[in-house]
Structure formats: structure tokens, C-alpha cells
Amino acid sequence: MRAGIVITDIDDTMMGPGEDLEGICGSIKDLQGLGYTIVPVTAKSVYELARLAPRLCLNLGDSLLIAESGGAIYGGPGLLETPTGSISVYGYELEYEELGPDLSTLERELSPIESVCNSELVKFSRASPSTIARLTGLPLEASREAAKRVYMEVYWSPQRSCLEKMEELALRKGMYVFLGRRFLHIGGHKGKGFAVRRLLSNPLLRGLRTIGIGDSEADKDFLEIVDTPFIIPHVDDRLEGRIKHLRLDRADYIVSIEAAPRGWITVANQIKLEHV
């Protein structure tokens, strides 16, 4: 029996600093055993997700996921209603539905945006794994996958003002933009919320209860449309500051008191209690 869908961010929501996923696999298995479908919705690429899948106890060949903040929906064969192509990633055979142009198509639009930065600008799709590892703290293997951008570019600059100028120009062009604490994301798609709505229009998922778990403003557009939204605070944030930062538009958020990964496990336990 299918109980519902858990739509979840990964970084700082499931995964803590240093790729800490301790205990997450067991919690995912428990929820799957109760009939929940686990759907990662993340800024990571499908290559990064394929590398992490065994640690998340997810068989991507039987799963649904949204990569690069809504650039594309991926699923095992037969799981997507309107796939636009197929891909083999580390032994997983996946179909995908593109929700925006790829980076080669966006290059002409991205070039003038990038030109506003006179200071050092690192572009992940062109950066070396060692550079990405230095900037993100990711292991070298993970950094190789982080460089494989398809639908969304990731930028870093030592000058935040430079990233803010890029953000402003990209927003004027109607692009997907998210400026985090250290990195700027730009894509030609419409973001996580649009992708989640598209996913939930799938006849296989209609009518199921939806649970959303996220940690930041980048997750707000899908947290606002699920039945039950949870927030995981950052490890270095006070609870009140995180709620204020999200600028919530609904009053029924459930906020964990713990950061990732422990906070996600606590949320999973709360969901399991509903079935006791």
C-alpha cells in the first residue's frame, strides 16, 4: 500500500557537513517499508545523486528524482509520463524529462552575466575537481561529479557583490536564480516548485499525501505546495533566525530542533509515529 511521497532536499537537509549521512539509510528503508516514495529534489546533478544513491539506500532504477534544482526529472524506465530522453549513469538506466534548456544552449545568455565580475569567478562546469573540493569541502570524488553540470551552472567568487550583480542580471532575464551563502546557481528552468508540480501531475502519484523536507530559501517553492512541510535548521543557525530567513507564507511548518543528518532522522521518526 502506498502511503505517500517524501520530497526532500539533500544538502543540509539529509546530509550534514563532510557528507555526513549517518543513520539516513535506515530511516529511508523504514519509510519505504511503510509505503512512502522518497523523491530527492536537489541542486545536485544526476551524477552526484548516482554516486550517493547506495548511501541513501535508493535504487535509482526504481526511483524518481529532480536534479539541478528543477532542470530535469529522472526516473527508472516507465516511471515518467512524458520522458524526453534516456541516460545510463553508473549502471542505472534512467529516463528523464527536461524542464529547461541545457547549459550549451544557455551559453550565449550566461556569457554577459558572467562578464560583470572583474574579480576571480569560478564556474563549476569548467573548474577542476581540486578547485571545487577546495571551495566546497567535498571529497575529490564528489567534486568530480559536482563539475558535471547539465542544466544549472554553479558560480563562486571571493566578492559577494559580484555574485549579487550576476543574480540581478539573471533575474531580469527570467532565469532560475538562487544566491546562497557562498555560491550562485543559475539555470534556464523554473525551479524546484515547478518541477515538483510537474512530478505530482504523474497519474502514478496523484492523490497521495505529500511531505516536504528542506532547509533553505531554495526549498521554499516546493515546501509551500506540499501537504506537510518540515524545515531542518542549519547546524550554525539559531532556530528563530532560520524561520525568519525563509520568509514563510504558511503557518503550518514543522521545524526540527536538530540539524542534518539527525534532524532528518527525527522527522522520519515523526512520520513513522503516525502509522503506529
User: What is the torsional sign of CA 253, 257, 260, 262?
Assistant: negative
Catalytic residue among 9, 11, 215, 221: 9
Q: What is 139-179 written as a DSSP string?
A: -HHHHHHHT--SSEEEEE-S-HHHHHHHHHHHHHTT-EEEE
Q: Closest Cα partner for 74 from 176, 197, 199, 188? A: 199
Q: Where are the alpha helices (DSSP H) in the chain?
A: 24-33, 46-52, 103-114, 129-136, 140-146, 160-172, 191-200, 220-223, 239-246, 262-273
Backbone φ and ψ of 213, nearest 5°: -135, 125
Residue 9 annotated to the active site = yes
User: Could you give the dihedral angle defined by the CA atoms of residues 28, 263, 4 and 86, in that order, rounded to the nearest 10 degrees?
Assistant: -60
* Pair 8, 38: CB distance under 8 Å: yes
> Which residues make Cβ contacts (< 8 Å) with residue 118, sequence separation at least 6?
162
How far apart CA 224 and CA 220 sit, in angstroms, is 6
Residues with catalytic annotation?
Answer: 9
